[in-house]
Chains A and B, each alone.
Chain A
Amino acid sequence: MSIFTALVTQLLHLALILALAPVLTGCVRWLKARLMGRRGPHPLQPWRDLLKLLKKRPVLAENASAISRAAPYVAVGAALLAAALVPSFARGMLLAPFADLLLIAGLLALRRFAMALAGMDVGTSFGGLGATREMAFAALAEPAFVLAALIFAILAGTTNLDVIIGIFQEGALGLRVSLGFAAVALLAVAVAENARIPVDNPATHLELTMVHEAMILEASGRHLALWDFQASLRLTLWLALLAAVFLPFGMAAPGAGPIAWITGLLVFIAKMAALAFTLAVFESAIAKMRVFRVPEFLGAALLLGLLGAVFLFVSTGLS
């Protein structure tokens, strides 16, 4: 019975994420447009684009190899699995025992690698540039993420996300300086990983500054749809991760019934809406930074994570 419940939770979660991901991207775009005084496209526009692109025939460059054709599926598969591991409205999903933070980092790295390979496949200057920058930024973002995982693991005793959320939900840990530093570090990593302002501009094709868009310049048709979809999945995954760890209230306990699920769902949607609004305000308020300031930005996140860990050692040593 419990396995059945876990399976149902997992499938519902997956369906929710699949349906929500493009809507979330659309919402952020719409909110940004409203904040800037424009009318903005409908929040469902990304879904419409996806369905339209899926029906179109992809055009590949003459010297594209099998990498260009296989990479989008690898990236979507990895992003989908990572998103399936991060709980949304309920804990105790079927894959919860494997929802390890380091594995999520690994899956995101797999996604990134596939994307960078696709960027280099045709041999254009923009693709190579984007791939180079993406990997270089990830070199600093990944350790910051691992340090955040370290902080959670010291507090919760494990890097398993489901257990971490369970312990944070009990609230016995209180507010902690280390958690605050971890939150800041994780936010910076999230901004970099999702190619948002101030690290990258998701809405531009301005060659000199872009990272993410540069790698998928050659993609078209269903390949482009898949790339866009995995970008949406990644944004949803990160917001869900931040919501689950730092705002763990309202999530249904493992094995809870449908009523708790509905409450959890409503709370989840409220949390995501709040985060999307914050993101839109943040992106509207600040300017994109120069590419060569990004390492400083991520390096600061890394050092904050380290500082958080140090504070944690001190406080666990004292109490």
Chain B
Amino acid sequence: MSFGQLPYDLAHLLGGAVLLLSFVLLYQRRIAAVINAFATQGALLALAAAWQGYVQGAAGLYVTAAIAFGAKAVLIPFALHRLVRRFNLQRGVDPALGIGVSMIAGVALAGFAMLVVLPATAGQRALAREDLALALSVVLLGGLMMITRRNLISQVIGLLSLENGLILAAVGVAGMPLVMELSTAALVLMLAVIAGVFALQMGESFQSLDTESLDTHRGEGE
């Protein structure tokens, strides 16, 4: 497959859109908008998985798509919105790093991902190489978001979006066993649940989801 063929083009474009949403996540300040952007990213990811399922003729990918849509586009955003309402977090989140700086860092990371992936996958098909670069960029941007945000919910979303990148990489590779994907999806749900419990606990103890407020309580307990 190469440029100009619909299967490749659309898969590529969907991957690009997922990456674009990662940038939107970095760019947003308001927590509700961040959650919405994350939900959109989940939906796009589901679309990408479904399209790959159709192109590769792999029924398992439809399951992945359904799980991704159900969990990431509907369930988790819904739960997060409830959390936000419960702790009255509609105000803006203040990023630890400025928006402009984190955007520049994001573009630099995407370029970095490109430079890493391309030599490492020499000899593979162009499709796999570029999609892998896209997916790795999403992963790195998720990591960046976890570093540059102080709010717990933003950090959780960073982690989940990082995981979106992993799924994106997985669906692009033909012949990935379904078990792997199911287990990753389960892992994510577990993570989300743990994070939710943690957030509830933290919110009740500190009346805030700012993770920096934890720093002063290091080494306490027992």
Q: Which residues of A contact B (CB under 8 A)?
A: 172-177, 180-181, 184, 295-296, 299-300, 303-304, 306-307, 310-311, 314-315, 317-319
Contact = CB atoms under 8 A, between A and B. Distances in A.
B140 interface: no
B222 to A, nearest CB: 45
Contacts of A314: 114, 118, 130, 133
B12 interface: yes
A270 B110 CA distance: 38
B75 to A, nearest CB: 25
A104 to B, nearest CB: 26
A180 B13 contact: yes
Consensus secondary structure, chain B interface: helix
Contacts of A299: 100, 103
Contact of A303 (B106, B126, B130): B106
A176 B134 CA distance: 13
Contact of B134 (A177, A300, A318): A177
Interface in B103-119: 103-104, 106-107, 110-111, 114, 118
Given A175-B6, A180-B13, A296-B99, 16 more contacts: A173-B3, A174-B5, A176-B12, A177-B12, A177-B15, A177-B16, A180-B16, A180-B17, A181-B20, A299-B100, A303-B107, A304-B23, A307-B111, A310-B114, A314-B133, A317-B118
B212 interface: no
A161 B177 CA distance: 47
A180 B27 CA distance: 18
Interface of B: 2-6, 8-10, 12-13, 15-17, 19-20, 23, 27, 99-100, 103-104, 106-107, 110-111, 114, 118, 126, 129-130, 133-134
Contacts of B5: 174
A300 B103 contact: yes
Contacts of B99: 296
A304 B6 CA distance: 24
A300 B20 CA distance: 11
Contacts of B6: 174-175
A172 B4 contact: yes
B103 A175 contact: no
A290 B3 CA distance: 41
B85 to A, nearest CB: 20
Contact of B130 (A174, A175, A180, A315): A315
A176 B27 contact: no
